[in-house]
Amino acid sequence: MLGPLEKLWRESMVLYLRTGVTVLETAADGLKSVEALIEGRSLPPGIDSDRPLDPTTPEAMAFLAGLQGNILKGHGRDHAMHLLVCFGRPRDEAAHAAAVPRIRAWIGRMTDTRVTSAAAQWQDRARETTLTTLMLSSRGYEFLGEKRPRDGAFREGMQERGRRLGDAPVGAWEPRYQRDAAEIHALVIVAARDPETLDSIKEPIDRELAAAGGSILVDERGRQERDSSPKRRAIEHFGYADGVSQPQFVHDAAPAARHYDQRAPLNLVLEPDRHARGGFGSYLVYRKLEQNVKSFEAAVEKVARELGQEPELVGAMAIGRFKNGTPVATQAGPKPGYDPRRDEDFDYDRDPDGSKCPLHAHVRKVNPRGSLGFLVNILAREQRRRIARRGITYTDEDNGTVGLLFMCFQNDIRDQFEFIQRSWANNPEFSEQGTGLDPIVGQAGGAAGPDDSPNWPTGHGSSGRKRIRFDEHVRLLGGEYFFAPSIAGLHALAGGG
């Protein structure tokens, strides 16, 4: 008979192997809930943090007016400008003290004249206007001499945390990110319907920032790739539908579900803003990811030859979807007329061993949809890990490279984005022993061993397996962690507290 300590150890190991959750992390989750209750950090009356938002109520619109746009719902525009900002390089303490009021004034002007609230975004259903958001890094708060948001990963920053995620060392990043990473204080995102509008907006932002003593370190331009279908679906550069199966924070955006509910509580992404009582913001992970399309397609062809299967199926087994978005778990080929709003209500109950959608497939690795079996409340645990993805594709005309400006909002960087990356995508033993790395974003943190390679079904629905190497085809070029303050929080920072 097992003793209590041995029983606890075995149960914790089962929990870790199936979900990547340690007993200590489970306890930490409980402590966070207690902390929130003690501090009285809650949403305003009429707004339930455990449910999606009903935007038709006056309370909801008042709440959205205090929240920055692009958090609860993506901006949906095909062109975006991401300006990574430095507040200045003061030579001494006196110069720094003189610089802070100028930067505060710049934040105030940006907030008053450019920053888009979630309410304004909601009212602009046709997406006719530009959308602008302003976020600060941990170093940005330090520059202003302000208390930083509580998230420990945010405070450390992406450079430091990258060691835990198997990220490429900073020395392998794009040169401008290597040079300026320590001086990234803020991120300005401007989204518009055309690139000319972005150019016209950058000039006054650059001028006003320079007058305040700051500068633009990096200007990234996103342009959303779309397929040739009548619906013009958003795709990433490997050619697969992107932005599918997002958490839905607003009632009217959430269709009824029988198998997998996309609806999400507000507290999945919102965090109380400590600079504005009653205000809420969100943590953003920003990563520039270069995609090597030629090497990806060559790898797909290689696996297809070894399995004796069509490349179309092998690509779908790597991603977990066919190019038009059809889940490989539910179909043997692309479904004509596939509609995410109608066809995303699925789970893996009919494919528990991954004979159709492999256990290593990207979309299954990062969102298991309750397929981890017997653990109590496993679906609820998994769904607390979800992130709100807001990325956009990019094309660098100067050097011919392409990729994704990956962005995601969450309430807790460690327990959401980092957990998904570290414990699921990078873990060759998730969700079962011998599964292999996520073939799209999995990082071995060095040379991958033979046991890290994906274990492929030998055909759609086949019980046979063959382990075949699938090298990394996505490369991190730089990035940072940010916090998007509430509108009132931005005003507080502008006013000095």
pLDDT at 60 over 90: yes
* Beta-carbon contacts of residue 371 (< 8 Å; ≥ 6 apart): 347, 348, 349, 352, 364, 431
Q: Does residue 46 belong to any structural domain of this protein?
A: no
pLDDT at 252 over 80: no
Q: Does residue 53 belong to any structural domain of this protein?
A: no
Share of the chain above pLDDT 70, in %: 88
For residues 233 and 190, membership in a common domain is answered with yes
pLDDT at 5: 53
For residues 251 and 225, membership in a common domain is answered with yes
Q: Which pLDDT tens digit goes with each residue over 264-294?
A: 999 999 999 999 999 999 999 999 999 999 9
For residues 187 and 110, membership in a common domain is answered with yes
For residues 310 and 205, membership in a common domain is answered with no
d(CA 427, CA 407) in angstroms, rounded, equals 22
Q: Among candidates 180, 153, 137, which has minimal Cα distance to 493?
A: 137
Unique residue bearing structure tokens 């009824």: 256
d(CA 135, CA 453) in angstroms, rounded, equals 38
| pLDDT confidence bin for 55, thresholds 50/70/90 | confident
Mean pLDDT for all residues in the chain: 90
Q: Which pLDDT tens digit goes with each residue over 196-205?
A: 999 999 999 9
pLDDT at 40 over 50: no
Whether the model clears a pTM of 0.85, i.e. scores above it, the answer is yes
For residues 64 and 203, membership in a common domain is answered with yes
Domain range for 98: 58-282+480-495
For residues 24 and 106, membership in a common domain is answered with no
Average pLDDT value for residue range 182-202: 97
pLDDT at 46: 82
For residues 97 and 200, membership in a common domain is answered with yes
pLDDT at 186: 98
Q: Does residue 320 belong to any structural domain of this protein?
A: yes
| pLDDT confidence bin for 446, thresholds 50/70/90 | low
Q: Does residue 49 belong to any structural domain of this protein?
A: no
Backbone angles phi, psi at 229, to 5 degrees: -70, 160
Average pLDDT value for residue range 131-138: 98
For residues 174 and 223, membership in a common domain is answered with yes
Torsion, CA 497, CA 150, CA 107, CA 268, rounded to 10: -130
Q: Does residue 47 belong to any structural domain of this protein?
A: no
Average pLDDT value for residue range 124-149: 96
For residues 241 and 120, membership in a common domain is answered with yes
Chain centre to alpha carbon of residue 352: 26
| pLDDT confidence bin for 375, thresholds 50/70/90 | low
**How many domains, in total, are found in the chain?**
3
Strand partners, 409: 284, 388
pLDDT at 92: 97
d(CA 164, CA 151) in angstroms, rounded, equals 16
Average pLDDT value for residue range 374-400: 88
Q: Does residue 121 belong to any structural domain of this protein?
A: yes
d(CA 481, CA 284) in angstroms, rounded, equals 6
pLDDT at 432 over 80: yes
d(CA 296, CA 30) in angstroms, rounded, equals 42
Backbone angles phi, psi at 287, to 5 degrees: -140, 125
For residues 196 and 314, membership in a common domain is answered with no
Residue 198 · residue 221 · CB < 8 Å: yes
For residues 72 and 169, membership in a common domain is answered with yes
Q: Does residue 296 belong to any structural domain of this protein?
A: yes
d(CA 194, CA 390) in angstroms, rounded, equals 18
pLDDT at 136 over 90: yes
Residue 256 or 329, more confident: 329
Q: Does residue 50 belong to any structural domain of this protein?
A: no
pLDDT at 38 over 50: no
For residues 119 and 153, membership in a common domain is answered with yes
| pLDDT confidence bin for 485, thresholds 50/70/90 | very high
